[in-house]
Amino acid sequence: MSGKPLLSVKDLWVEYEADEAVVHAVNGISFELEEGQTIGLVGETGAGKTTTALSILRLLPANIGFIRRGSIEFEGKNLLELKEGELLSYRGKQISMIFQDPMTSLNPVIPVGDQVAEMFRLHNEEKLPKTEIDQRVDELFELVGIPKVRKSEFPHQFSGGMKQRAVIAIALACRPKLLIADEPTTALDVTIQAQVLDMMDGLKKKFGTAMIMITHDLGVVAETCDIVAVMYAGEIVEMGTVYDIFEGKVHHPYTEGLFGSIPSMDSHEKRLKPIEGLMPDPSSLPSGCKFSPRCPYCQDICKREEPSVRCMGSHSVRCRFVDMEGAV
């Protein structure tokens, strides 16, 4: 990897303060993303994927979610130091997000076309007239495959797949440099999933958009991602190129568990395998390695001391027992 990264997340710590308990949702993650690249964030539910995404746009729920430490640099600017007003030109325009649930991410009382047009109105530096905006909305509808006659309809008149397309249209409207897609296909049925992914891939190539792809689906990761980060209990336990993750010999025990018997890129293994035990409660994380209670290779030292990260080239694993030259 060379050149200046588009996005650089360094040592990010995020907490939620929910009645009494403090939820340690993200605990010191770092990653970089270059222009046009796609990083996949995978991991069990509650691993902190959505929290990471929301932190980048500084959209954590007010008074509840707090970024405690770290920096998030976008084109060299630390987003965490920007004032609310300055952020507005980043949100939607430079960085946009597709939310986890398309069913609830459209406003029920505003026509869908209007919600798409709003993107152009909010970021209208070119002072486009209304007719031009209408034109662009039509183009976008065509692009994502919704008949443009339906733009005056309301979200409840759209099917799930169409809502998802509308949400994607909104996210792509201003041709962002970075697109964060939080499980863009889990709410959809299988046939539509494939269509939507194809469409996103096409659009990504067309506009050269970098992407953070959050998903549970290994097939999606293998198809769309350049880099993969495996998250567990708010940490990145393993990160590398798709090749490192799918074809590499050395893995974090968690990744091994997730992938079952390490699938290869062309295997038919599509879904993550469940692992024995539960992820620790993020409001009371275990000391030492956070995966130790579920780890088949766990030793006493794992329970006492935080593991260090071991690297080889682009591949890094957060486990003291992996030998990047050989096996676990």
Ligand X SMILES: Nc1ncnc2c1ncn2[C@@H]1O[C@H](COP(=O)(O)OP(=O)(O)OP(=O)(O)O)[C@@H](O)[C@H]1O
284 binds other proteins (CB under 8 A): no
**x/- map, 47-86, other proteins, by CB under 8 A:** -------x--x-x-x-x--------------------xx-
Q: Would you say 27 or 50 has its CB closer to Mg ion?
A: 50
CA dist., res. 190 & res. 175, Å (int): 27
Number of chain positions touching other proteins (CB under 8 A): 35
Q: Which is nearer to other proteins, 106 or 319 (CB)?
A: 106
Contacts of 140 (CB under 8 A, 6+ apart): 116, 169, 172, 173
Among 92, 161, 234, 282, binds other proteins (CB under 8 A): 92
Tell me: does residue 130 bind other proteins (CB under 8 A). no
Smallest gap from residue 49 Cβ to Mg ion (A): 5
Minimum CB distance to other proteins, residue 182 (Å): 10
Phi and psi at residue 188, in whole multiples of 5°? -110, 160
Interacting residue with other proteins among 93, 148, 175, 320 (CB under 8 A): 93
Residue 25 makes contact with ligand X by CB under 6 A: yes
Closest distance to ligand X from the beta carbon of 139 (Å) = 32
How far apart are CB 59 and other proteins at their closest, in Å? 6
Binding residue for other proteins (CB under 8 A) from 13, 66, 154, 297?
154
51 binds ligand X (CB under 6 A): yes
**Contacting residues for 103 by C-beta, under 8 A, at least 6 apart:** 160, 163, 187
Backbone angles phi, psi at 243, to 5 degrees: -60, -45
Among 104, 159, 264, 299, binds other proteins (CB under 8 A): 104
Query: Mask of contacts with Mg ion, 35-54, x by CB under 5 A?
Result: ---------------x----
Comparison of 163 and 252: residue with beta carbon closer to other proteins = 163
Q: Are 120 and 126 in contact (CB under 8 A)?
A: no
Least separation in angstroms between CB 221 and Mg ion: 15
Nearer to other proteins, 33 or 119 (CB): 119
Distance linking the first and last C-alpha atoms of the chain: 26
Tell me which of ligand X, Mg ion, other proteins, none is bound by residue 46, counting a contact when its beta carbon lies within the kind-specific cut-off of 5 to 8 angstroms.
Answer: ligand X
**CB-based contacts of 24: which residues, under 8 Å, 6+ apart?**
13, 15, 234, 282, 283, 285
Instruction: Point out which residues bind other proteins (CB under 8 A).
Output: 54, 57, 59, 61, 63, 84-85, 88-93, 96-97, 99-101, 104-111, 118-119, 122-123, 154, 156-157, 167, 170
Instruction: Point out which residues bind Mg ion (CB under 5 A).
Output: 50
Instruction: Point out which residues bind ligand X (CB under 6 A).
Output: 16, 18, 23, 25, 43, 45-51, 61, 64-65, 100, 282
